[in-house]
Amino acid sequence: MRGKTFYAGIQKESGMEMRFRGLMPRGIEKLFVRDDLRRTMAEFGRYTAHAFEGDGDHAAELTTLLRETDVALTAWSSPRLPLDILRDAPRRLKYVCNISGGIKGWIPKEYIEAGILVTNWGDGPMWYLAEGNLALILACTREMPRLRRHMLEQPTWLYPYASPYPTLRRKTVGFMGFGAVARLLLGLLAPFEVKPIAFDPYIPALPESVARCRTIEELFEQADVLTLQCGLTEETTGLVGRALLDRLKPHAIFINTARGKVVREKELIEFLRARPDVFAGLDVFEQEPLPKDSPLLQMDNVICYPHSICEVGEPMFAESSSYAAANIRAFCTGRPVTAQIAAEKYDRMT
């Protein structure tokens, strides 16, 4: 006989099962909802997966399901959750456990404002994104795309670097935004003895080793390597254009693994054509998938990655499942969850 369980401060009498529902495409559910997560939910109740495919209007069906749900599980490509459920009193739904990162596409802010607990995968998978950032920085430092062409053509055996000092060691690395990925990337950069600087008006205190830039213009002017680590908001959409890019140093490196629409892509292309000394490592674009005729794919001072610099397959999905399992166990036993999304954090997320 199962003993008493608790969730969100509300005592559930012994024998009353909790209802967990997965609301995501079948392929995504298979990636994220692993055995450890299924076993955890089975301890406290019953899990049912509902496969939602495509971009159709699922509001009516979701409203019905959520009225019979204690914990909803969402992830990439989940349908947008309906607002009608928020008018219910009493409301059974208490927790939306998002097993992936971003939530804005399918979890409205009104859920958080209504007191529904919302979490995501936390900082765990951010390690892989930080590692991918480092890979792009090093590849651009050593001019890998141009070097490959040189090896194919072989006009001479030795490669003439555009930069007189093709090394990351002791360079100034600028962070536009200083969240979880930036903190992890800073640790990975430590052996290179870099000088870190950052611009982030939302972070009250930076690590002692990181110098704060007063303006974004100052950041672009001082950085040898500039990495974008900010979310996509109304304020950041189209923020980086030719006026800022023209402030970059000779032989600078520009990295964007944040969101493509932070940068005015047409102006970035014009800038990179005019400044062949600058290298760019891009994982995100204004239009995705990136069109095959994009000039970025033809430029020898650009490395393009298909918005998957974070994805390393099995380890990331397994870690995300375990993280969700730990949060659901904490929720069901009355303990604090981690990676809770507050309303003010929601506004800064992508």
The answer to whether residue 142 is catalytic is no
- 148, 170, 288, 335: the catalytic one is 288
Residues 181 and 126: beta-carbon distance below 8 Å: yes
307 annotated active-site: yes
- Domain ranges across the chain: 5-122+313-348, 126-304
- What is the Cα–Cα distance from 199 to 219, expressed in whole angstroms? 6
Confirm or reject CATH 3.40.50.720 for domain 5-122+313-348, answering yes or no.
yes
**Structure token pair of residue 32:** 């994220």
**Which one is catalytic: 247, 307, 329, 348?**
307
- State the average pLDDT over residues 155-179: 92
Per-residue pLDDT, 32: 95
259 is catalytic: yes
- Alpha carbons 214 and 263: distance in angstroms, whole number: 21
Q: Which of 19, 58, 251, 259 is catalytic?
A: 259
Comparing CA positions, the residue from 195, 221, 226 lying closest to residue 210 is: 195
Q: What is the CATH number of domain 126-304?
A: 3.40.50.720
Q: What is the DSSP string of 141-185?
A: HTTHHHHHHHHHH-SSSS---SSSS---TT-EEEEES-SHHHHHH
CA dihedral 155, 157, 162, 166 (to 10 degrees): 160
Give the DSSP letter of residue 86.
Answer: G
pTM: 0.84
- Say whether 126-304 and 5-122+313-348 share the same fold: yes
Q: Looking at residues 200-220, what average pLDDT do you find?
A: 96
DSSP-based three-state secondary structure for 113? helix
Query: What per-residue confidence (pLDDT) applies to 311?
Result: 76
d(CA 282, CA 303): 6
Query: What is the tens place of the pLDDT at every residue in 49-95?
Result: 999 988 888 999 999 999 999 999 999 999 999 999 999 989 999 99
pLDDT of residue 148: 84
